[in-house]
Amino acid sequence: MSTRTRFAPSPTGHLHVGNIRTALHNWMLARQAGGEFWLRVDDTDAERSEERFVHAIRKDLAWLGLHTDGETRQSERLALYEEAFDTLRDAGRIYPAYETQQELELKRKIQLGRGLPPIYDRGALKLSDAEKAQHEADGVVPHWRFKLGHDEAIAWDDGVRGTQKFEPAQLSDPVIRRADGSWLYMLPSCVDDIEMGITDVLRGEDHVSNTAVQIQMFTALGAQPPRFAHEALLVGREGKLSKRLGSLGCDSFRERGIEAQALVAMLARLGTALPVEPIADIEELVETFDLSTFGRAPARFDDAELDRVNAAIVHQMGFAQVSDRLPDGMDESGWHAIRPNISTVPEAADWWRIVTGPVEPRDFDEETRVFLATAEDLLEWSDTPWQDLTATLKERTGRKGKALFLPLRQALTGRDFGPDMGELLPLIGEDRARDRLRKAAES
């Protein structure tokens, strides 16, 4: 069976950097194996799921360059869950439970007070038929639990964490369906993974104990469990998943001038033994993707590192990749001149203003004004006006280094530093250059 992975967000909010990373890794895993990557919209929670978030998720994946080979939605697959539910109930693997939330909480408190782990005591399994009938007669609608096989050892070889073993008796039988008939995450996810032919489930380590339960569900449904891998969670520089990190989505990155390639390059390697590098070609990242390089320690997300990766990516970007985001009139040579001086594409507009003007007037001393007047006199237009001008000025005035270059840059651009003048002066053009030198000489 060829590799098929899925990314399964709940459309209850925007994707944040943590789930963007999960999506990317699943995409890479599939891509590397020549397999498929699917989007599964986990929208069984009708109240909290919103269509606008489904659109936003699709848009974000497209922006990131993560092509999906198909999409499924849990809300359209309820009949499948119903069927699996019947199968498991008939096999005695699902049972009704009548406890209220308060009763369950009280039981937990008592267990904890006695120093015992708060595992569900299977009270519902001990009810006699008469007691169950009484509950029903009292109008108590049951919720439903999956019955873990206590003799059925749970173990898997996790792609990141290595051998994982769980003692089923140490786990609570999970509630899989609420009294109102709605589904919790656990069973629908299993049913979908089977039905969609998912071969590899790669997700955050907060799902490890869910996997333990789901492995028994796969088996109970007569299926071979997929391969599992659980990556360490993403944390901020301060060491935890902060609110800020949890709200950082593609829109906020875009607004900050972060390129999709930069985010991809960073998230592809973060938390692995491989170095984070400004690799713009996603295929190169795919080639080096390797679950065995993933560490167990939380992956630290650092904004400053992302900014550095972004700047290095921007410096590699070709004109065609950015042309629709550049100011009017800025052409390929303009982009090449300015590119080394910017960390984000929108910053190009700031530098482009020094080409189109007007430039910030400066105060020059008498001697410098004379020098700038000489510069205007000697300016001759050619393919290399800057090189010619500075060579002639050096010869005539004896100035060199900073004394030669800085006043010219200041007069021509209004700034003390900036893009290479050799590239910039042809863009400024003869008329503007003369005008700026004259104004500076007369200032």
Residues that bind ligand GLU in the complex, under the rule CB under 6 A: 8-10, 42, 185, 189, 203, 207
Q: In DSSP terms, which residues pair with 154 in a beta bridge?
A: 166
Query: What are the residues whose beta carbons fall under 8 Å from the beta carbon of 228, sequence distance 6 or more?
Result: 156, 158, 159, 200, 201, 202, 211
DSSP secondary structure string for all residues of 308-360: HHHHHHHTT--HHHHGGGSPTT--HHHHHHHGGG-SSGGGHHHHHHHHHSPPP
Q: Which is nearer to ligand GLU, 229 or 235 (CB)?
A: 229
Provide, rounded to whole angstroms, the least separation between the CB of residue 294 and ligand GLU: 16
Q: Which of 274, 432, 415, 430 is nearest to 356 (CA)?
A: 432
Provide, rounded to whole angstroms, the least separation between the CB of residue 186 and ligand GLU: 9
Half-sphere exposure of residue 165: CA atoms within 13 angstroms, side-chain side: 3
Pairing of strands 70-73, 36-41: parallel
Indicate if the alpha-carbon torsion angle 420, 421, 422, 424 is positive or negative: positive
Q: Which is nearer to ligand GLU, 15 or 330 (CB)?
A: 15
Q: Read off the tokens for 428.
A: 């400024």
Query: What are residue 199's phi and psi, to 5 degrees?
Result: -95, -25
Cβ-closest position to ligand GLU:
42
Provide, rounded to whole angstroms, the least separation between the CB of residue 203 and ligand GLU: 4
Provide, rounded to whole angstroms, the least separation between the CB of residue 44 and ligand GLU: 9
Provide, rounded to whole angstroms, the least separation between the CB of residue 175 and ligand GLU: 16
Q: Which is nearer to ligand GLU, 207 or 438 (CB)?
A: 207
Element spanning 378, H or E: helix 366-378
Q: Which is nearer to ligand GLU, 202 or 265 (CB)?
A: 202
Provide, rounded to whole angstroms, the least separation between the CB of residue 332 and ligand GLU: 43
Provide, rounded to whole angstroms, the least separation between the CB of residue 9 and ligand GLU: 5
Q: Which is nearer to ligand GLU, 33 or 186 (CB)?
A: 186
Q: Which is nearer to ligand GLU, 120 or 185 (CB)?
A: 185
Q: Which of 256, 293, 263, 294 is nearest to 280 (CA)?
A: 263
243 is in an annotated binding site: yes
Residues 249 and 243 sit within 8 Å (Cβ to Cβ): no
Strands in 175-177's sheet, in edge-to-edge order, are: 94-97, 143-146, 175-177
Q: How far are the Cα atoms of 99, 146, 308, 316, 359 from residue 342, in angstroms, in the given order?
A: 62, 57, 11, 11, 19
Q: Which is nearer to ligand GLU, 147 or 203 (CB)?
A: 203
Provide, rounded to whole angstroms, the least separation between the CB of residue 210 and ligand GLU: 7
Query: Residue by residue, what is the 3-state secondary structure of 87-155?
Result: HHHHCCCEEEECCCHHHHHHHHHHHHHCCCCCCCCCHHHHCCHHHHHHHHHCCCCCEEEECCCCCCCEE
Provide, rounded to whole angstroms, the least separation between the CB of residue 325 and ligand GLU: 32
Query: What are residue 289's phi and psi, to 5 degrees?
Result: -65, 130
Q: Which is nearer to ligand GLU, 9 or 426 (CB)?
A: 9
Q: Which is nearer to ligand GLU, 96 or 188 (CB)?
A: 188
Element spanning 6, H or E: strand 4-7
Going by the annotation, the residues of the binding site are 243
Going by the annotation, the residues of the binding site for ATP are 243
